[in-house]
Each structure stands twice: as C-alpha cells, then as structure tokens.
Chain A
Amino acid sequence: MSGKLRVHVDQDKCQGHARCKSLAPELFELDGFGNAHEIGDGTVPKGLEDKAWLAQTNCPEIAIEVIEE
C-alpha cells in the first residue's frame, strides 16, 4: 500500500456530476462544460490518497480509475 497512486477520469464515462471535484479539488478540475479531468498527469500527492479513493467511490458513473503504481 506504499505505492504511488494516480487518478484518471475516463472521458467516455464522465457526465459532469462533479462529485470528484467537490471531494478532491486538489486532484480534479472541471472544463467549461463541467466535465472532470485529473489535474496534470493525475499523480496523487502524498497524504491525498484517501481523497483519491473517496472520489472514485462516489462517482455515480464509475468514471474514475485509481491506478496503483
């Protein structure tokens, strides 16, 4: 569990519920249509791992991948 995490929003699945942005604004941003994208390359800074999982489990469209590297 000490590995680094990366988040990724699947653009085919995201419908802009914006739950991830509200739960983890450090990891996700919204575009002009309100759809979510991971910030930068999606690397989760140390200490924000819980927020990454929280965003994933609250997405109604199951659009967020959390990748353990």
Chain B
Amino acid sequence: MSDHAPVTDWVHDFDHTDPRWTENPYPIWDELRATSPVVHTERFLGCYMPTTFEAVKQVAYDTVHFSSRRVVVRDVRPETVPAPPITSDPPEHKPAKQLLLPPFTPDAMKKLEPRVRAICNELIDDFIEDDGCDAAARYSKHIPVRAIAHMLGIPETDGDLFIRWIHEVLELGIRDQSILMKAVHEMSAYFAGHIEHRKKHPTDDLISTLMNARDKSGQPLSDAHVLGSLRLLLIAGIDTTWSAIGASLWHLAKTPADRERLVAEPELMPTAIEEFLRAYAPVTMAREVTKETEIGGCPIKPGNMVLLSFPAANRDPAIFPDADKVVIDRKQNPHAAFGLGIHRCVGSNLARMEMTVAIEEWLKRIPDFRLDPAGKVSWSEGTVRGPRQLPMLFGKAS
C-alpha cells in the first residue's frame, strides 16, 4: 500500500508509515532508543523523533520551541487547519481548552456511562450467537462513534460517515493533501448544518455548548473556532478509543492467563486498563519546530516536524520496569497515553470510561475467546495505531 521507499536504516531514515512499523513498532522503538534520545529522518520534509520518555516529555512541555499548529506528520505541509485547542499554542490554548473541560470531567462521564453500557450490549447481542466475529468491525469501532455522537447531539447512525472522514484525515491524508482538505470541508459543512438547525431549535449538547460559549470579553466564538473544535472532538474521540478497546481485546484474546485473571478478579480492571493504555497507547502526536533548540544533546532545527510518540515513551524501560511486558496489576504506571503537559487529551476520562465499560461488558458475556487462526489481524497506520480487523473465535479452544 505504501508508496514510500522501504526503510533500510531506521536510525537515520525512520518512517512511521512503513508496514513493519505498523505491524510491530516495539522492536524499532527499542533500537532507536538504544541509539539516541532523538533521531531524525529526511522523510516528511524533515522530522525528528524523541525516543525516550524524558525527551518526549521535554518536547511536550516546551511550547516556546515547538508549536502545535500542525499535529500530524505528513508528506507535505498543507495549510494549517485550526482545530482548537489541540492546534493552539499559548496564550490562545488555555481559554479554548477550558471551554471543553467541564463536559468531560469524570462526573460528567458517569452520566454517560449507562448509555455506553447499553451500546456495548446492543452490539454484543448482534453477534453473540455466532461462533466468532471481527471484534474491530463489529464492536470496538462502534462504541466511541456512538458515544461521541450522543455527546455532540448528532445522529449515531451517521457513524460510517465519521469513520470515513477520520480515515481520510488521519491515514490517506498523510500522503494526499486533496483528500485531507475535502474531508475537512465536508465535516465543516456537516456541522454548519447542525449549528444552523440549533439556532431555531436549541439543544443541550456539546454543539450548543460551543455555540453558546463566550470569550473573556463576552463575545461568542468565531464560526471557524466552533467548527474547528467540533471537527477535533469528532476526529479525536473516535478511532483513538476504538484502537484502545481493540488492542485491549487483542491482548486478552492472545493471553489466556490475563483474560482468566481479569474475569476472576474484576477488581483489577482499573490497573489493567491503565496498563493497556500504557502498553498499547494508540496516539502519536506531532509538533512543528519553530525555534532552534536542543533536546537530549541533539540540535533541533526549525522547519522540521517532530513525531511525538507517547506510545514509544510508554515503552521506555528507564521509567517502566519490564516495559515490554503487559502487567495487568502494575502498581506504578505514570504513562503518557493521553499526552503530557498542557495538551493532555480532553477526552481522557471519556476514553477510560468507554474502555472500562467495553471490556467489562465483553468479559461478562464472552469470557472465553481467542484470535481466529484462519483470520488476519490488521493495524491502522500513522497517527493512531490499533486493530482494524480483529477476527475472533468464541469459546474455549478445543
């Protein structure tokens, strides 16, 4: 699928869209980390990658030399498409973020939890009588789509449309700018229609929250700000958690000891979820270098991008003993799956709730399952990594 030349030298020529990275990035990250805290590639018009937890953290905390105006590493540098607050730098970042925080607190998520539990069970009802299913296509994919649609106040049945846009923005759009911009415009038009409708028929949802928000001087947000934030919530809220739920189920399908223990000791769920987030963190972000600086003794030059791999940071053995082992009762786990610093994922409490409910409900109804040896697990490439095909068989292996 890739039109990039295959990588022969990961240290000087890495490519996070290479099929080997997509399939199994962990040994590559170990090799890079063992070589240098920061590596560089000429691909993507020049891009660094911090490889240690410490170096990732330094970049994430440094908003002076690293800008968030571009948060995806692509072949080209298309015009910036604001999606506040993820693409905002200080001082614009804080007010844009604060608008979105109250609807995503843990208490707010508790109110949404019964709906998510019902969604999970409706999905399971559809395939539980079968011998197995593709757990990505039939289960993990649909839970975050429906939950975020519920919060935004848009039809859950538009899910396929959202999933296509996300694929175009985050995967196809890495190489093809026209696909990216077309998806952005379609999303804006979609939300503009919903905003227009609410002007006559007010609602109590996230779209209305943003429409009714006022800045410090009492002015409403610009249309571009509202549309940008809505695009962000849709894009960021879906394939991320879909990936995290899918990777957790993938792990449990191939690790009977962990699956049986989690069924027998459901009180381990909180540490297990945090460990799945650490070990299979789906989201890699990016920054654009705006001023010359140094990270881990490596010179960093403006004009380059930075691939900010929180998943690689989470595998750093300097911070996490046995970093390559999945330990579902790991006690010390200050992982960076939701980022570090001011851009901490606004939806982290939503993602945790969705993951917890999705795994709990699955294990209650399907305690025994395994990967289908006749099927193939496939992973998404680039910015968000998770299983896109996850063929499972139900019941104990005979």
> Which residues on A are within 8 Å of B, measured CB to CB?
15-19, 21-22, 30, 32-34, 54, 57-62
Contact = CB atoms under 8 A, between A and B. Distances in A.
Interface string B308-344: 0000000000000000000000011111101011101
Contact of A54 (B331, B340, B349): B331
B105 A34 contact: yes
Contacts, number: 52
Interface stretch (B96-104, B158-166, B172-180, B365-373): B96-104
Contacts of B331: 54, 57
A44 B105 CA distance: 25
A15 B105 contact: no
B332 A57 contact: yes
Interface residues of B, number: 22
Contact of B342 (A15, A21, A33): A15
Chain A at the B interface: SS class: loop
Contacts of B102: 32-34
B209 interface: no
A22 B349 CA distance: 11
Contact of A60 (B270, B335, B342): B335
Contact of A16 (B101, B274, B333, B334): B101
A41 to B, nearest CB: 23
A57 B98 CA distance: 26
Nearest to B341: A15
Task: Report which residue of B98, B104, B105, B274 has the largest number of chain A beta carbons within 10 angstroms of its beta carbon.
Answer: B105
Nearest to B338: A17
Nearest to B98: A33
20 contacts: A15-B340, A15-B344, A16-B101, A16-B344, A17-B338, A17-B344, A18-B349, A22-B106, A22-B270, A32-B105, A33-B102, A34-B104, A34-B106, A54-B331, A57-B331, A57-B332, A58-B274, A58-B332, A58-B334, A60-B338
B348 interface: yes
Contacts of A33: 98, 101-102, 105
A19 B331 CA distance: 12
Interface of B: 98, 101-102, 104-107, 270, 274, 331-336, 338, 340-342, 344, 348-349
Contacts of B104: 34
B70 to A, nearest CB: 21
Nearest to B310: A60
Contact of B349 (A34, A57, A59): A34
A17 B332 contact: no
Contact of B334 (A21, A34, A57): A57
A61 B98 contact: no
Nearest to B53: A60
For the complex of A and B, list the 5 residue pairs with the smallest distance between their C-beta atoms, beginning with the closest.
A15-B344, A33-B101, A34-B105, A60-B334, A57-B332
Given A16-B348, A30-B106, A34-B104, 10 more contacts: A18-B348, A22-B270, A32-B105, A33-B102, A33-B105, A34-B106, A54-B331, A57-B331, A57-B334, A60-B340
A17 B106 contact: no
Contacts of B342: 15
A18 B233 CA distance: 20
A9 to B, nearest CB: 14
A62 B349 CA distance: 19
Contact of B336 (A16, A30, A60): A60
A31 B139 CA distance: 34
A61 B270 CA distance: 19
Contacts of A18: 106, 348-349
A60 B310 CA distance: 12
Nearest to A22: B270
Contacts of B349: 18, 34
A58 B338 CA distance: 13
A19 B340 CA distance: 13
B293 to A, nearest CB: 21
